Amino acid sequence: MTTDSLNNTLFARAQKTTPGGVNSPVRAFKSVGGTPRFITRAEGPYFWDADGKRYIDYIGSWGPAIVGHAHPEVVKAVQDAAARGLSFGAPTEGEILMAEEICRLVPSIEQVRLVSSGTEATMSALRLARGATGRDKIVKFEGCYHGHADSLLVKAGSGLLTFGNPTSAGVPEDFVKHTLVLDYNNVAQLEDAFASMGDTIACVIVEPVAGNMNLIKATPEFLRAMRALCTKHGAVLIFDEVMCGFRVGLGGAQALYDIVPDLTALGKVIGGGMPVAAFGGRAELMQNMAPIGAVYQAGTLSGNPVAVAAGMTTLKLIQQPGFYEKLTAQTAKLAAGLAQAANEAGVTFCADSVGGMFGIYFSEEVPGSYAEMMAGDKTRFNTFFHAMLDEGVYFAPAAFEAGFVSAQHDDAVIEETIAAARRVFAKLA
């Protein structure tokens, strides 16, 4: 990128009025260095930056753009809804339709409440779990991100069974002293935790397919153990499917693994690029929510009619016959093609995918935990990222993020990506 790039000009300007120049930290390229691209428009598998450069986009707005950017049916639904009014602060039939659709597609959800962000969904699910059980302690796993609610902004002390320290300044120790952080995919540690304090644990919250420490799949044994321990000790099992819900397949990770959580948080895909998220689960639990129950939660824009129109249209499109088969095949093709290109060049690299989500790792083997993921070669990733960016391929700007494929990433797009990767790996070797 030349120094007279409009991206540079915009970034300099943005930093004057916005902290770090961005409205969500990972957009700032802090991890990979360089200037973030300012996006002017997007269509199908592509977006264009301020300099008019086109990129094949493997972020898809960090998950929502599963049918491709600016899908004509989604755009039309949004336009039609907007023409009828932007927000009423009173209920609409659209919200009922959306709730009915979510309950039909995710059978563990008998009742659901719509919110506007994944953070709200997990934060509210947590409050509900605590309210319903009358317990304070929660269990989360290292490397899982559940939004930025105080109790969940905790990282573990390198694999030790430990109560967390806040990851962010501004989170009082008192808020996180109830958050127990364990290793992902470590059944023995989970069993130990329940053996020593099971009857004081309100809930376990987990990304059943983790996408915030690159892509790391839970083992079936790990999720089964979690389900059994929660049932035995009267704790609430919360699946945070904000990212993997409707991304790894219809019905989410819980359908893939055949495990029934008590509560589920959803987001991203269910809004189709607009702010819709949700939490829901067993009706008997959800009946604890205000206005009928004692657990308070609310939102001025919750169930917003324009956002719900985008979400409902997206939910309709992903139910077209063969949608997930094709998405899964295209994503697997990308992962295999990248791995083969690296292998041909002699670069240590591997890749993995599930549904429309993928991970790329500069390590010998696909990691199974946060610690294993952190052992990968981050410097190499950064070089790879920038070289691919120059080639017009936009991967997530951090080694710790999963990637996303849309239904518009056809064979030509995937092949173009792999050809670019072949050139880049040859330079990296």
Q: Which residues contact 75 (CB under 8 A, 6 or more apart)?
A: none
Residue with tokens 């997530």: 396
Which tokens is 143 given?
Answer: 């490397």
Q: Tell me how far, at minimum, the Cβ of 119 lies from ligand PMP, in Å.
A: 3
Does residue 304 bind ligand PMP (CB under 6 A)?
A: no
Pick 337 or 359: Cβ nearer ligand PMP? 359
Give residue 388's region: left, alpha or beta (phi > 0; psi -120 to 50). alpha
Does residue 240 bind ligand PMP (CB under 6 A)?
A: yes
Q: Tell me how far, at minimum, the Cβ of 145 lies from ligand PMP, in Å.
A: 5
Question: Which residues have a catalytic role annotated?
Answer: 145, 240, 268
**How far is C-alpha 48 from the geometric centre of its chain's CA atoms?**
23
Q: Which stretch binds ligand PMP (CB under 6 A): 67-75, 113-121, 161-169, 324-332?
A: 113-121
Residue with tokens 């991203």: 268
- From 32, 65, 149, 243, residue interacting with ligand PMP (rule: CB under 6 A): 243
- From 119, 151, 382, 406, residue interacting with ligand PMP (rule: CB under 6 A): 119
- From 45, 267, 368, 376, residue interacting with ligand PMP (rule: CB under 6 A): 267
Does residue 67 bind ligand PMP (CB under 6 A)?
A: no
CB distance 375 to 367 below 8 Å: yes
Q: Which stretch binds ligand PMP (CB under 6 A): 135-143, 237-245, 278-286, 413-421?
A: 237-245
Residue with tokens 């506007």: 116
Q: Tell me how far, at minimum, the Cβ of 391 lies from ligand PMP, in Å.
A: 26
One-letter amino acid at 328 equals T
Does residue 307 bind ligand PMP (CB under 6 A)?
A: no
Pick 212 or 330: Cβ nearer ligand PMP? 212
Pick 146 or 333: Cβ nearer ligand PMP? 146
Which tokens is 165 given?
Answer: 């320290």
Distance CA 327, CA 314 (A): 14
Q: Tell me how far, at minimum, the Cβ of 327 lies from ligand PMP, in Å.
A: 18
Q: Tell me how far, at minimum, the Cβ of 37 lies from ligand PMP, in Å.
A: 19
| DSSP code string of 235-259 | PEEEEEETTTTTTSSTTHHHHHHT-
- List C-alpha distances in Å: 302 to 85, 116, 120: 15, 6, 10
Pick 271 or 337: Cβ nearer ligand PMP? 271
Does residue 62 bind ligand PMP (CB under 6 A)?
A: yes
Q: Which stretch binds ligand PMP (CB under 6 A): 106-114, 118-126, 324-332, 415-423?
A: 118-126
Kindly write out the interface string for residues 202-231 of this chain, putting x where it contacts ligand PMP by CB under 6 A and - elsewhere. -----x---xx-------------------
- Report the DSSP beta bridge partners of residue 258: none
| DSSP code string of 69-138 | BT-HHHHHHHHHHHHT-S--SS--HHHHHHHHHHHHHSTT-SEEEEESSHHHHHHHHHHHHHHHHT--EE
Residues binding ligand PMP (CB under 6 A) = 62, 117-119, 122, 145-147, 207, 211-212, 240, 242-243, 267, 277
